[in-house]
């Protein structure tokens, strides 16, 4: 450490040691403490802002769920009233609906028109599966899992258990949901509400019968011959079961999509709908509403 001498009037020498260095150390300490306090303050501000943003997202999500629930209620009302125009539209395609100034997408799927993975005819399941899953190796993989459930006598609760985790959020999962079910309890399906893929992959079905069913589906002819056609392909063509999968979807401005989905059954004696179960989906990708 450097030092220097000076003399007072008495002639004695005094030493002043490290005055400048001590002042520099104090300044450095002050700057360090100030930096730490600033960093803590900045961190607290960032955390507070993050909490506020999370709270805002949660409030929006809660509001969206309430709107989506209103959409489900509207679907149920439309299905209970045979004269409701929205019900007629929903039976054809997904339909936009405005509620509280917000546009929702309402959808109805007829579970009776799908092939049941638990109770469905084995040959029918395999035929439709290979039509839906274009990749032959992947179709074999999915069918192997399905057959393992059958061999063990274990019920398939959700369709996505047949897929690898990385495939459960891909388009394949949605494709399987459109053509298969796990809750109808039928060996076959209702040909009037089934998809073209399901109907056209009934093992051994004749082209003439397909054309006749298509005429019935389009309303060009009556359904008087339908029972006879069903008998020819029993148990693959089954009677109608009033089960519906209904969905209400809302896309928020922050790219958040909330979907409330329910399985509903119709009591034909009273005309009322009953919700069997419901679940929510929250996604980041927006849903495109038809123009």
What whole-number distance in Å separates Cα of residue 52 and Cα of residue 1? Answer: 53
- The domain segmentation of the chain, as residue ranges, is 67-110+242-283, 112-232
Name the pLDDT band for 184 (thresholds 50, 70, 90). Answer: confident
Assess contact for 5 and 13: CB atoms under 8 A.
Answer: yes
pLDDT at position 24 is 59
Phi, psi of 171, deg, nearest 5: -65, -25
Assess contact for 259 and 177: CB atoms under 8 A.
Answer: no
What whole-number distance in Å separates Cα of residue 76 and Cα of residue 97? Answer: 14
Name the pLDDT band for 120 (thresholds 50, 70, 90). Answer: very high
Phi, psi of 233, deg, nearest 5: -120, 20
Nearest 5°: CA angle at 58, between 52 and 60?
A: 105
What is the three-class DSSP state of 248? strand
What whole-number distance in Å separates Cα of residue 100 and Cα of residue 41? Answer: 41
pTM above 0.75, yes or no: no
Residues above pLDDT 70, as percent of the chain: 82
Please state which of the four CATH numbers 3.90.930, 3.30.1300, 1.10.10, 1.10.3470 is assigned to the domain occupying 67-110+242-283.
3.30.1300
Greatest mean pLDDT among 20-34, 88-102, 115-129, 218-232: 115-129
Q: Tell me the per-residue pLDDT of 241-259, one tens digit each, with 9 for 90 and over.
A: 788 889 999 887 766 788 8
């Amino acid at each position: 450490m450097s030092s220097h001498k000076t003399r007072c009037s008495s002639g004695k020498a005094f030493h002043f040691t490290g005055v400048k260095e001590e002042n520099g150390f104090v300044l450095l300490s002050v700057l360090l403490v100030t930096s730490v306090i600033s960093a803590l303050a900045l961190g607290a501000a960032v955390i507070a802002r993050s909490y506020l943003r999370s709270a805002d997202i949660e409030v929006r999500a809660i509001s969206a769920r309430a709107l989506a629930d209103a959409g489900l209620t509207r679907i149920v009302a439309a299905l209970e009233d045979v004269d409701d125009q929205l019900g007629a539209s929903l039976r054809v395609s997904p339909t936009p609906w405005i509620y509280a100034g917000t546009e929702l997408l309402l959808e109805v799927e007829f579970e009776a028109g799908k092939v049941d993975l638990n109770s469905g005819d084995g040959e029918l399941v395999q035929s439709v599966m290979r039509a839906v899953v274009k990749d032959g190796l992947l179709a074999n993989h999915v069918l192997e899992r399905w057959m393992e459930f059958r061999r063990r006598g274990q019920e398939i609760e959700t369709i996505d258990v047949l897929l690898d985790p990385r495939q459960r959020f891909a388009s394949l999962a949605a494709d399987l949901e459109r053509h298969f079910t796990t809750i109808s309890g039928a060996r076959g399906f209702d040909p009037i509400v089934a998809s073209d893929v399901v109907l056209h992959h009934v093992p051994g079905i004749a082209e003439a019968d397909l054309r006749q069913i298509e005429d019935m589906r389009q309303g060009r002819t009556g359904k008087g011959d339908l029972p006879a056609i069903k008998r020819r392909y029993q148990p693959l063509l089954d009677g109608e079961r009033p089960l519906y999968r209904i969905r209400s979807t809302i896309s928020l401005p922050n790219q958040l999509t909330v979907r409330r989905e329910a399985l509903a059954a119709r009591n034909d004696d009273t005309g009322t709908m009953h919700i069997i179960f419901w679940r929510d989906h929250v996604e980041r990708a927006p849903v495109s509403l038809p123009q």
